[in-house]
Amino acid sequence: MEAGGIGLALQARAAGFGSGSGRRRGGLQAPTGSLRVADPAGPAVAVRARGSKPVAPLRLRAKKSSGGHENSHNSVDEALLLKRKSEEVLFYLNGRCIYLVGMMGSGKSTVGKIMSEVLGYSFFDSDKLVEQAVGMPSVAQIFKVHSEAFFRDNESSVLRDLSSMRRLVVATGGGAVIRPINWRYMKKGLSVWLDVPLDALARRIAKVGTASRPLLDQPSGDPYAMAFSKLSMLAQQRGDAYANADVRVSLEEIACKQGHDDVSKLTPTDIAIESLHKIESFVIEHTADSSASDAQTESQIQRIQTL
C-alpha cells in the first residue's frame, strides 16, 4: 500500500455493542471489527474478523506525515542522511510494516511519522484507530467510560487488522507489548523499541501534560515527579516486555555515539536514522537464511506466549 493514495476504512463494532459473535476475554465481549483498505488502483480489500458484522464504516485517510516536531531536522546533512538510509532500508524491508513500541512519550508517533515520510509508507497511530473503532474522541474517555480491559481488547483488534497490511509505520500504544497476542501480530512486520530513560520521558510528559494519558493522569502534585513515579511503576510491571522487539534503539547509546550523555539533545531525526540503521542490520542478519529466521520468529513468539 502506498502512502497518500490509499483510503482506509475502519469498520468496527466496539466491544459490548455487538450481538455476541466476538471472542470473550475476561468477561468482556471482545471487540470485532476490520480495517478495510481501499486502493484506488484496485478493488477494496476487506480484512474482517470472522463473525464480525461491519457497521457504518468510518473513513480514515492514511496521513502523509509531516514529522510534526519543531526541531525534527537539525541540518541539511541530517535530512540527507535520513533520506539515504531510508532508500537502503526500503530495499531490505520489501514492504514489511514497522511497529514502534516503547513507553508513553518515548517518541513513537513523532519518530514514526518521520520514518513513514521518508520510506513512503503510511503512518498509523494505533490509539487513534482504537478511538475511531470505539467511536470516542480520546483514549482517556475510553478508559473512563469503559475500562482499560475494553481499550486493550480494541487495541488488539486494531493490531490484528493492521498486521495483514503492508507498507505501514505503526505507532503502538505504550502498553501494547503486555499482551502476547499483540506480538503475534507485530511479528508479521518489524518491531522497534524506542528505549528512552525514564527521566527524559517524565520531562517530556510533564511538558505536554497527562490529560491524554489516563495511566499517568494526576489531579495534583508536581507533574514531573508524578510522571516519573508512575512511569517507574509501569516500567517495573512491564519488565522485559519491550525487549521482545526485533531491534532496540537506545537514546543513551545514540547520545554516547555523538560524544555526549544528554539524550535531550537528540532530535527525532537522529532517532529515526538510528532506527533505520538498526532495522537494516537486523534484516540483513535475518535474511541470510530465511527459513531458519521464520523458525526463530515462531519460537520467539512461543516463548512470549508462555511468559
Ligand X SMILES: Nc1ncnc2c1ncn2[C@@H]1O[C@H](COP(=O)(O)OP(=O)(O)O)[C@@H](O)[C@H]1O
Ligand Y SMILES: O=C(O)C1=C[C@@H](OP(=O)(O)O)[C@@H](O)[C@H](O)C1
Binding site for ligand X (CB under 6 A): 69, 102, 104-110, 171, 204, 208, 266-268, 271
∠ CA 241-291-189, rounded to 5°: 40
| Residue 175 binding partner per list ligand X, ligand Y, none, with a CB distance cut-off of 5 to 8 Å that depends on partner kind | ligand Y
- Exactly one of 173, 189, 223, 268 binds ligand Y (CB under 6 A); which one? 173
Cα(57)–Cα(256) distance, rounded to whole angstroms?
48
At its nearest, how many Å lie between ligand Y and the CB of residue 104? Answer: 4
Choose between 104 and 263: whose C-beta lies nearer to ligand Y: 104
| Residue 204 binding partner per list ligand X, ligand Y, none, with a CB distance cut-off of 5 to 8 Å that depends on partner kind | ligand X
**Residues within window 55-114 making contact with ligand Y, judged by CB under 6 A:** 104, 108
Phi-psi region of 224 (alpha: psi -120 to 50; beta: other; left: phi over 0): alpha
Stretch in the footprint of ligand Y (CB under 6 A) among 183-191, 209-217, 239-247, 258-266:
209-217
Cα(44)–Cα(291) distance, rounded to whole angstroms?
32
Cα(160)–Cα(99) distance, rounded to whole angstroms?
12
| Residue 215 binding partner per list ligand Y, ligand X, none, with a CB distance cut-off of 5 to 8 Å that depends on partner kind | ligand Y
Please give the grid coordinates belonging to residue 125: 497511530
- Exactly one of 18, 22, 67, 174 binds ligand Y (CB under 6 A); which one? 174
Q: Please give the size of the binding site for ligand Y, defined by CB under 6 A.
A: 10
- Exactly one of 214, 217, 286, 297 binds ligand Y (CB under 6 A); which one? 214
Choose between 18 and 175: whose C-beta lies nearer to ligand Y: 175
Choose between 149 and 215: whose C-beta lies nearer to ligand Y: 215
Which residues in this chain contact ligand Y in the complex, by CB under 6 A?
104, 108, 127, 139, 173-175, 213-215
